[in-house]
Structure 1
Amino acid sequence: MPQPLKYNKKFDELNEEEKALLEINKKTIADFVEQSSSISDVNYATRNAHAKTYAAATGTFLIDKNIPEELLPFFDRDKFDLTIRLSNANLKIKNTGKDIPAYGFAVKVKGENGGLIANFPLVNFPLFPMNSVSHFLKLFTAVNRFYIKKWSSFFSLAAQAVKTIPSVCTLSFARNILKLLGKRNDFILSFDYHSVGAYRLGDNMIKIKLTPKSVDKNFGIKSKMKDSVKNYFQGHDYTADVLIQFCYNLKDQPINKLNVEWKDSPYLKIGEVKINKGQLLDSRDCNIELLSFNPFESNVFFQPVGKIQRLRDEAYKVSMQTRKKINKLLHGKNYE
């Protein structure tokens, strides 16, 4: 096997234009969160992505007994405690109609005495629709402004959306879109979940995939997703394999080209995620909405890699600070 490519901070560096656009975007994130209660018609400030919580639960990360010896320093225990949040990617919470099948499986890995080791916000689509940081920031800013200002900013949003078309015209993207359309009605826990971008594993760089075991894709198909998840965990355990791919070269496993899948890098199983039945948390508890899954709050050797990934740090912080400022008055209350 070839040696994995080593992490270099140059993979993360933003240029001056990108930094300036990020500052503009952060302002629109704060504006969105400040108005999110009226946007979603709820009595609390929401996240500006993955706003809708389907469920939160405690779980366990069980390390595989056959894990390669060189990985043991990163997984020095047999198991780790987890906090997990299942969500929908939409910025706006919809309580009527069917949600788009864009789901999140955010994982908080905790060590001894509950100390944070890593956050991994995973999603059910393995690719990202653009590689340009500037285009993404302009689009995300336009989306935030559209929700705040409505139709007065529609043409700006449309202009930025058109610029994404070349990035989604790849074989990988088309194949995964078709796969998602075929699974659009499937149960949320039957999907694979992906890190999309790369993460550090020490000095190496990896992608992460979560593959469930024996979950009926038709479970609760006639119920609302939130009710289906609750019913599932009342009577079923959930188990998923945790798989990783290593980056060996940038041609086959690009770090800053997120619209194509990695190739020629086999998946390696490092463990399992287990959620036992009855481990659901009360998703109406305001403390669930105050949870942060910022991957940059992780141990340095588990943090994200790449320019698009770098944007997450500031975006998560602004969103969290604004939500906390607004929602702290609700501490101790439940969200209905």
Structure 2
Amino acid sequence: MPNPLQYNKKFDELNEEEKKLLGINKKTIADFVEQSSSISDVNYATRNAHAKTYAAAKGTFWIEPDIPELLQPYFDKEKFDLTIRFSNAQLKIKNTRKDIPAYGFAVQIKDENGVLLANYPLVNFPLFPINSVSAFLKLFTAINRLYMKQWRNLFTMFLQLGKMIPSLFTGDMFRNMLKLIGKRNDFILSFDYYSVGAYRLGDQVIKIKLSPQSVDKNVGRKQKVKDSLQNYLQTNDFSADVLIQVCYDLKDQPINKLNVEWKNTPFIKIGEVKIDKNSLLDSRNCNTELLSFNPFESKIFFQPVGKIQKLRDEAYKVSVQTRRKINKLLHGKNG
């Protein structure tokens, strides 16, 4: 096996145009969150993405006893405590029986003293359809503004969606879209979950995959996603393998090209996520909504890598700060 590629901060650097567009985008994020309670018709400020919480639960990350020596410094305990949030990717919360199958499995890892080690917001689609930072920022800004009924941004949104089309035509993207369509009615816990972008593991760069063990895809077919998930977790234990891929060569494992899968790097099992039955948290509790799964709050050697990931750093900060400010005020009124 060749030596892993070393992390370099150049992987994350934005140019001046991208920084300017990011500043504009951050303003629309703050505006969206401030208006989010009326956008979603709820009594709290929501997240700017993955607004809908299906459930939150406590879990445990058990480390493989024979983990490769290269990885041992980062996983030096037998187990770690987890807080997990299950969500839907849409910006607006809709009270429908059928949601689009764009699910989130966000994991917060803490040590035995309750010190935060890492946040990993995982999703059930392994790729991202936009490689251009500028195109993504313009599209996301236009979408935020449309939700706030600024209809003049409709043309901008369609223009940026048009620019996105060529990046959809990779074999990996096409194959995974067909797979998702085939699984669209499957139970939320039967999906694999992915980091999409890359993360640091010390000086190495990795991607993460979470693969559930023996979950029936037909669970709760006639129920709302939220009800089927909560019913399952109240009466069943859940286990999933945690796998990583290591970056060795940017040609086969590109960091800033997110519409292709990494090739020629094996999946390495590093442990298992376990949720014991009846470990649910109260998803209606304001403190649950105040939880943050910002991956940039992680220890420095677990943080995200790449330009699209760098955008998420600023977006998370603005969204979390605005959301916490509003929800703490609301929580104080209701408390």
Instruction: Say yes or no: TM over 0.5.
Output: yes
In the TM superposition, residue 116 of structure 1 has moved relative to its aligned partner by: 0.1
Q: Is the 8 A contact 1:102 1:124 kept in 2?
A: yes
Q: Does 1:160 align with 2:147?
A: no
Q: In structure 1, what is the Cα distance between the partners aligned to 2:74 and 2:99?
A: 37
Determine the C-alpha separation between the residues in 2 that align with 1:143 and 1:173: 23
Partner of 1:250: 250
Give, in angstroms, the shift of residue 154 of structure 1. 1.6
Identity of aligned residues (%): 76
The offset of 1:334, in angstroms, is: 8.1
Deviation at 1:234, TM superposition (A): 1.3
**Is this contact kept in 2: 1:5–1:205, CA < 8 A?**
yes
- Checking the alignment, whether the CA contact within 8 Å between 1:284 and 1:334 is kept in structure 2 is no
Which stretches of structure 1, 4 residues or longer, exceed 4 Å deviation after superposition? Answer: 332-335
Long gaps (5+) in structure 2: none
Counterpart residue number, 2:310 = 310
Instruction: Name the amino acid aligned to 2:252.
Output: D
Displacement of 1:36 after TM fit? 0.6
Q: Does 1:298 align with 2:298?
A: yes
SS in 2 for 1:164: helix
Give the secondary-structure state (helix, strand or coil) at the position aligned to 1:48.
coil
Secondary structure of 1:331's aligned partner? helix
Tell me the distance in 2 between the aligned counterparts of 1:301 and 1:255: 16
1:49 match = 49
SS in structure 1 at match of 2:229: helix
- Asked if the contact 1:286–1:332 (Cα under 8 Å) also holds between the matched residues in 2, the reply is no
After TM superposition, give the deviation of residue 37 of structure 1 in Å. 0.7
Checking the alignment, whether the CA contact within 8 Å between 1:286 and 1:334 is kept in structure 2 is no
Within-5 A mapping of 1:255-294: 255-294=255-294
- 1:74-109 CA deviation, whole Å, 9 max, x = no partner? 011000000000000000001024110000000000
Whole-angstrom CA distance in 1 between matches of 2:190 and 2:110: 25
Q: Counterparts of 2:333 and 2:224 in 1: how far apart (Å)?
A: 25
Alignment of 1:227-242 (within 5 A): 227-242=227-242
User: Contact 2:97/2:224 (CA < 8 Å) preserved in 1?
Assistant: no
Q: Which whole-Å CA distance do the structure 1 matches of 2:70 and 2:174 have between them?
A: 36
For normalisation by structure 2, the TM-score amounts to: 0.98
In the other structure, the counterpart of 2:126 is 126
Deviations 1:57-84 (A, max 9, x none): 0000000011011211101100000000
Q: Report the CA distance between 1:112 and its aligned residue.
A: 2.5
What one-letter code is carried by the residue in structure 2 that aligns with 1:90? Q
Say whether residues 1:186 and 2:186 are aligned partners: yes
Output the CA distance in 2 between the equivalents of 1:264 and 1:96: 42
CA RMSD of the aligned region, Å? 1.2
Q: Is the 8 A contact 2:213 2:241 kept in 1?
A: yes
CA-CA distance at 1:159 after TM superposition: 1.2
Instruction: Give CA-to-partner distance per residue, 1:251-309, whole Å, 9 cap, x none.
Output: 00000000000000000000000000000000000111111111011011100000000
Within 1, Cα distance between the matches of 2:119 and 2:188?
A: 20
- Counterparts of 1:282 and 1:269, CA distance in 2: 31
TM-aligned CA distance change 1:332 to 1:234, over 3 Å? farther
Partner Cα separation in structure 2 for residue 97 and residue 334 of structure 1: 29
Q: How does 1:1-336 map to 2 (within 5 A)?
A: 1-149=1-149, 151-331=151-331
The C-alpha deviation readout for 1:9-68, integer Å capped at 9, x for no partner, is 000000110000000000000011011111111111100100000000000000001101
SS in 2 for 1:249: coil
Pairwise CA distance, 1:331 = 2.5
TM-score computed with the length of structure 1 as normaliser: 0.98
* One-letter amino acid of the counterpart of residue 92, structure 1: K
Contact 2:97 2:225 in 1 (8 A): no
Deviates more, 1:27-36 or 1:149-158: 149-158
Mapped to 2, the partners of 1:233 and 1:166 lie a distance apart of 40
Letter in structure 1 aligned against 2:290? L
Q: Distance in 2 between matches of 1:334 and 1:71?
A: 46
Q: Is the 8 A contact 1:39 1:147 kept in 2?
A: yes
**What SS is found at the alignment partner of 2:50?**
coil
Q: Partner of 1:99: helix, strand, or coil? A: coil
